[in-house]
Structure 1
Amino acid sequence: MHWTVYLSGEIHSDWRQQIIDGAAALNLPVSFHSANTDHEASDAAGDFLAPQSEGFWRDHKSAKVNGIRTRKLIKDCDIAVIRFGEKYKQWNAAFDAGICAALDKPYITLHDEKIIHPLKEVNAEAMAWATTPQQVIDILKYTTS
């Protein structure tokens, strides 16, 4: 059985590539998708919609355009991995976790122990909490075999 995995969250490290490479090394029957991880392109996703604007309305338009992709990929995934980093607040990742919960999509959270408390509700709905990409690979290996 082939699984589709949605990778959500923090975009400032190589955690996605570690999981993709680890799964490939084990020939796991998975394919991966994610939101646009190019921060500037994501912020500008709605810029082609007239009229041009800054601040709230620019973010609003871009969030809606980005949401087209995000909602489709989450609806179509078998499982999501949602990464929370320490440096930035990933409100979008928390929102993705909420969408997964609402759609009854299983998800794994990936984050350090230092942010357990602020993520307690997000973790309460997760099927697993991992602290390393390798743990996610191990979960994927187990669940897809």
Structure 2
Amino acid sequence: MSKEDLFKQLRADIDENPPNLTNISKLLEQFVDGLTKFCPSKTELNKEIRERFPKQIKPEDTLLIMQKLIFSIEQFQSPNDDKFTKKMLSDVSNNFNNESIIVFLSEFYDHTEKVYKELWEARQRLVNGENIIPPEHRKQVKGKNGVPFDMKTGL
């Protein structure tokens, strides 16, 4: 099932009366599994992440679950992404309805993939003995062999 099909199905499920939360529960399970893959060797952290979320989702727990998802991903993302996750949470908190839930889940899905990719690339740079900070975020030094032309002393 493609991502678009998944979210179409989630929209249809959540619009039912009462809402069908089966697919949302499965997606949440996938999110939790994904969060535990950020640090697979940290079993204590993974246990804590799993215990954060209820086994059965009730409609009244939806906002709390979203807050816990944001809290969990913020532990792994760079500080640059904090604005984005805070905005995601405030958007859904200020306008809490079925559509905002689906938009949140879609944005969270994309954001989790992005954070995982960045983390994986940083780990690869570390394994290769490189600087873990991506080249586009490093300060550019104008000089020779990494030594700036206009170096200042501490005095």
TM-score, normalising length: structure 2: 0.29
Q: Which is helix-richer, 1 or 2?
A: 2
Larger Rg: 2
Higher relative contact order (CA 8 A, sep 6+): 1
TM normalised by structure 1 equals 0.30
Structure with more strand by fraction:
1
